[in-house]
Chains A and B, each alone.
Chain A
């Protein structure tokens, strides 16, 4: 039976290996973007730059393609991800922003799981009745709200109404302790500063909740469908006939099996969450890569940061790929019928 811990290692390793071609593919695609997408990229991207910058730019683009790509790859691996028009290097900014975005995404994911999945269970239990309709309206409303609308409403209307802050990681930045991880709550905890931990949590909750509300639909819907598939099966009846409470039957026996299919949506959900951070972080002034992406792409009428934009897009893609990988592994772990070898 191929499910021992060593088998699991093989399972994970195989999938990690499969990442490599995809990662290369991503770099190729971003390379295509940077070097082939526009006819006259230098004029497009630096319309007001001085002649030397333009000349340097053109020199880069005149080399043969494979040389360009190789240079590009080498630069990537060395952390040389280019710089903005003003000369600020891309890599440190992304490295600093990534954990903050991760914190936001994880918080949203947590909320989605804790709220969205039970909602799916409730909807399945009362399929076709009013509770089901309410749940559907709830998650479809989230789905129908564009991130920018949700963020603006949350920051401008909901925040003052609930007494929550409408932006930033802390009330007073920079915080009086070193930020090792650049995750607001973690940093404050590590520094032992409880008031700042609470402060960080309070700042985290609204953007995370908005992001969660908007993206909850897929998870809730998938949970509902899987539960509907699972509930008529005999083992649910067997569980009931053991005398277990309804709660245990639903959450221990039925959901355990329904979750197997739900993990497959993890990749899609991750994509939605990451895309949402672009707007959410901007509106809530959260210092993550979403925020960075917004300005790099030229949001709000700023000068685009070409290198930064490409880099951050690639990072997002890697994030989605990793999320899919985790989903795959999780599926293999949860479904006892999957052979790890």
Chain B
């Protein structure tokens, strides 16, 4: 607990991010259980004020249907947040598991090796598509709705965790103490769970924190394009923007951009500040740099190591298009 606090203190921006995230989570909680505390208006209940500019009664103004934008934004918060978390979480678990398997059991010529290759080939092909575009395409074919939205983004998202988990697993797999554990007779399963998993957890969690923001941006963009959920049935920031745009409100009453825009910007910024700050402190590369700087010692310099470090920096699979295809396992 104390190290977590130290991590936060390392950079003032990280602390700002953390505080914001906590505030946002609290707001989401309050709006779900006791909305009356934050806004006098109930969801989807029109006021008599149509398309009014921001005022004390309506901090973000109202839209063409008379809905208070500020309230709508608040009601959309738990929805957006929960879905983003859900998608990123499932992608983490599913993709992470696959990546762990692909990284740990990829001895060439074995069943594990074949499975690894298969997993990575499929992952690479998915990774070739820009995530947003792939998600849009899937969303189109699935139609509108909450579940469809989740599935669309999820199908696009799991490969990144596979790549990340595999990269980290490869880095940990050959560490001396893993070999020592194996020599001591610890079963493979135990090694995976206790040693490997625990070590890849840190960078993966950091990535996850940043990723929540990215998922949020993607799913709200899907809403903006006009797919995904149907606003005003389900409030969602991107869909709100889409509705305003289609109603021509953005040009006639530009303040409508303010509500959902500020909401998503602040939310994603909060997670990004937190995640970026965490990454600074928890990234093994920068930790090595910090350690090396104080003694003035050299960091790794062999060409294979540097390339592998660069690849690891992105969790990038060494079998991405461009690297030697057909290799079952990377060089240790």
Which chain B residue shows the least CB distance to A229? B289
Which chain B residue shows the least CB distance to A312? B133
Which chain A residue shows the least CB distance to B299? A229
CB-CB under 8 A from A38, the residues of chain B are 141-142
With the chains together, A183 CA to B87 CA distance in Å? 39
Instruction: Among B286, B299, B311, B314, point to the contact of A268 (Cβ < 8 A).
Output: B314
Judge whether A26 and B125 touch: CB under 8 Å. Answer: yes
**Binary interface encoding of chain A residues 144-179 relative to chain B, with 1 for a CB under 8 A from any of its CBs, else 0:** 111111001100110000000000000000000000
Within 8 Å of chain A (Cβ to Cβ): is B146? no
Within 8 Å of chain A (Cβ to Cβ): is B12? yes
Interface-facing stretch out of A16-24, A89-97, A191-199, A202-210: A16-24
In chain B, residues 244-273, which have Cβ atoms closer than 8 Å to a Cβ of chain A? 245-246, 250-251, 254, 257, 261, 264-266, 268-269, 272-273
Within 8 Å of chain A (Cβ to Cβ): is B13? yes
Judge whether A146 and B320 touch: CB under 8 Å. Answer: no
Within 8 Å of chain A (Cβ to Cβ): is B136? yes
**Interchain nearest-CB distance for A178 vs B (Å):** 31
Which size class do A's interface residues fall under? Answer: 35 or more
Judge whether A279 and B221 touch: CB under 8 Å. Answer: yes
Per DSSP, are chain A's interface residues mostly helix, strand or loop, or mixed? helix
Judge whether A140 and B137 touch: CB under 8 Å. Answer: no
With the chains together, A107 CA to B290 CA distance in Å? 36
Within 8 Å of chain A (Cβ to Cβ): is B225? yes
Per DSSP, are chain B's interface residues mostly helix, strand or loop, or mixed? helix
Judge whether B251 and A324 touch: CB under 8 Å. Answer: no
In chain A, residues 312-341, which have Cβ atoms closer than 8 Å to a Cβ of chain B? 313, 316-318, 320-321, 324-325, 327-329, 331, 335, 337-339
Judge whether B140 and A298 touch: CB under 8 Å. Answer: yes
Within 8 Å of chain A (Cβ to Cβ): is B75? no
Judge whether A22 and B124 touch: CB under 8 Å. Answer: yes
**Interchain nearest-CB distance for A234 vs B (Å):** 7
19 more A-B residue pairs beyond the given contacts A38-B142, A225-B283, with a C-beta to C-beta distance below 8 A: A18-B322, A18-B323, A25-B121, A37-B141, A38-B141, A140-B273, A141-B265, A145-B265, A156-B251, A261-B309, A261-B310, A274-B130, A278-B136, A278-B225, A293-B133, A300-B246, A324-B321, A327-B322, A339-B303
Task: Give residues in B with beta carbon < 8 Å to A.
Answer: 11-13, 121, 124-126, 128-134, 136-138, 140-143, 213, 217, 220-221, 224-227, 238, 241-242, 245-246, 250-251, 254, 257, 261, 264-266, 268-269, 272-273, 276, 283, 285-286, 289, 292-293, 296, 298-299, 302-303, 306-307, 309-311, 313-314, 316, 320-325
Task: Give residues in A with beta carbon < 8 Å to B.
Answer: 14-15, 18-19, 21-22, 25-26, 28-29, 33, 37-38, 41, 44, 128, 133, 136-137, 140-141, 143-149, 152-153, 156-157, 221-222, 225, 228-229, 232-234, 260-261, 264-265, 267-268, 271-272, 274-276, 278-279, 293-294, 297-301, 304, 309-310, 313, 316-318, 320-321, 324-325, 327-329, 331, 335, 337-339
